[in-house]
């Protein structure tokens, strides 16, 4: 009995140590992959940047002439930069249940050129995005296997009436979806010595119609990654992600569909596959013990979209996390 108690104590101590290891957190672009012990919490800040400057349609890159040949829209999207600061908080309600809240601040810049004469125009939007509140549940938590379930709600905080010169901007320039949504997710990570292998399925189901009489399409995400941890403080990762967006239902009547393909809901049915390389760094001692830094770079590898739009060619995420 006593031996068992000591054994349990030791295994607990060994286990508690694991959370400091770099690969106990997924690559920084993956969220909802881990939980926290009862009473412990974590804050995180992520900076995400995406650059889009190539036209695509179907599964191919396109040029401005292709765009003009295909439709009569008056403007051609030529460049879009999106950056987001995301603040997250996690709190272990029990050893099994963790609450997680996330709030982004978004800044978008978009350039378009007039189909008729090539005249350039610019627009920008910025502000808070939609809020996400999730409950994470520890289905399995052992030394070599972690399985986490996720369920939560997306709150429609982000503005959907962003304009430029009194003209309603296209869907990608809006800051939120305007409706509630439900998040569901399942993440599993297997640890084998210095390696770990993770997979995550995620779905966002949007519900109802927003004030502008439309609803963004549901989003489905699949992630798989492998990471290698040469020392406890560092892990490097390779990840592939598939993101599928269903079509917008309804439409914003104030938006002029003839303005550009991103003012027309047809574009919104789309799928992107992205490959990532990333690094996690977990401070093991000294003043910064408990702090984590992570970065990830993603490059689009394949896509299938229903209408002309700008490809999310490259993205970069930098993150800081601190557990208490
Ligand atoms: Cu956390």
CA 193 to ligand 1 center in whole angstroms: 22
CA 52 to chain CA centroid, nearest Å? 16
Please report which helix (H) or strand (E) contains residue 44, including its range: strand 41-52
Tens-digit pLDDT profile for residues 46-91? 999 999 999 999 999 999 999 999 999 999 999 999 999 999 999 9
Distance (Å) of CA 250 to CA 210, 216, 266: 10, 9, 11
Residue 33's CB: how many other CB atoms inside 10 A? 21
User: Cα separation of 128 and 105, whole Å?
Assistant: 4
**Cα 232 to ligand 1 centre (Å):** 18
- Centroid of ligand 1 to alpha carbon of 14 (angstroms): 19
Residues 34-53 as b/e (b if ≥16 CB within 10 A, e otherwise) read bbbbeeeebebebebebbbe
Q: How far is the CA of 137 from the centre of ligand 1 (A)?
A: 13
Annotate 257-274 with b (16+ C-beta within 10 A) or e (fewer): eebbbbbbbbbbbbebeb
pLDDT-derived band at 20 (thresholds 50, 70, 90) equals: confident
* pLDDT digit string, tens, across residues 3-16: 555 555 544 444 55
Per residue in 243-282, pLDDT tens?
999 999 999 999 999 999 999 999 999 999 999 999 999 9
Ligand 1 centroid distance, CA of 141 (Å)? 14
Q: Which domain CATH number covers 77?
A: 2.40.160.40
The maximal CA–CA distance of the chain, rounded, in angstroms, is 85
The CA 277 to ligand 1 mean position distance, Å, reads 21
109-124 pLDDT, tens digit each: 999 999 999 999 999 9
With beta carbons less than 8 A apart as the criterion, state whether 276 and 238 touch: yes
| Ligand 1: centre distance to CA 70 (Å) | 47
Tell how far the Cα of 28 is from the centroid of ligand 1, in angstroms.
11
This prediction's pTM: 0.91
Look up residue 262 and give its two tokens. Answer: 């991103």
Å from CA of 100 to ligand 1 middle: 8
Q: Tokens for 236, please give them.
A: 């490097």
Using an 8 Å Cβ cutoff, are 50 and 81 in contact?
A: yes
Q: What is the mean pLDDT of residues 290-309?
A: 97
H-helix or E-strand spanning residue 65: helix 64-70
Q: Which domain holds residue 160?
A: 2-323
Give residues whose Cβ lies within 5 Å of ion ligand 1.
42, 90
- Name the percent of the chain in helix, strand, coil, to the closest 5: 10, 60, 30
Alpha-carbon 119 to chain mean position: 34
The rounded Å distance from CA 173 to ligand 1 centre is: 30
Tell me the CA–centroid distance for residue 292 and ligand 1, in Å.
10
Count of structural domains within the chain: 1
At 291 the pLDDT is: 95
Instruction: State the pLDDT at residue 132.
Output: 97
Q: How far is CA 284 from CA 19, 22, 45, 320, in A?
A: 11, 9, 20, 15
**What one-character-per-residue DSSP string does 237-302 give?**
EEEEEEEEEPPPEE--TTS-TTT-GGGSGGGG-EEEEEEEEEEEEE--SSTTTTEEEEEEEEEEEE
Q: Which two tokens stand for residue 307?
A: 């209408």
């Amino acid at each position: 009995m006593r031996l068992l108690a000591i054994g349990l104590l030791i295994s607990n101590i060994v286990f508690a140590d694991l959370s400091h290891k770099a690969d106990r957190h997924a690559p920084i672009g993956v969220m909802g992959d881990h939980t926290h012990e009862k009473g412990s919490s974590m804050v995180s800040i992520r900076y995400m940047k995406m650059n889009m400057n190539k036209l695509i349609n179907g599964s191919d890159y396109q040029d401005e002439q292709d765009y003009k040949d295909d439709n009569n829209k008056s403007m051609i999207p030529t460049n879009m930069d999106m950056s987001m600061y995301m603040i997250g908080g996690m709190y272990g309600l029990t050893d099994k249940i963790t609450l997680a809240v996330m709030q982004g601040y978004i800044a978008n810049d978009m350039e378009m050129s007039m189909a008729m004469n090539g005249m350039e125009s610019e627009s920008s939007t910025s502000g808070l995005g939609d809020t996400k509140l999730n409950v994470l549940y520890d289905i399995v938590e052992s030394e070599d296997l972690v399985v986490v379930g996720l369920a939560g709600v997306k709150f429609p905080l982000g503005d959907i009436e962003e304009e430029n010169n009194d003209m309603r901007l296209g869907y990608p320039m809006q800051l939120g979806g305007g409706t509630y949504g439900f998040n569901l997710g399942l993440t599993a990570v297997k640890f084998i010595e210095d390696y770990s292998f993770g997979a995550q399925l995620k779905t966002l189901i949007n519900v109802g119609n927003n004030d502008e009489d439309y609803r963004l399409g549901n989003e489905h995400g699949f992630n798989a990654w492998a990471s290698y941890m040469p020392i406890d403080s560092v892990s490097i990762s390779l990840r592939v992600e598939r993101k599928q967006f269903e079509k917008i239902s309804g439409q914003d009547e104030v938006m002029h569909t003839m303005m550009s393909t991103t003012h027309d809901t047809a574009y919104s049915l789309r799928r992107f596959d992205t490959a990532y390389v990333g690094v996690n760094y977990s401070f093991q001692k000294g003043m910064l013990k408990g702090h984590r830094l992570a970065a990830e770079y993603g490059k689009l590898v394949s896509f299938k979209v229903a209408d002309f739009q700008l490809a999310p060619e490259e993205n970069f995420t930098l993150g800081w996390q601190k557990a208490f």
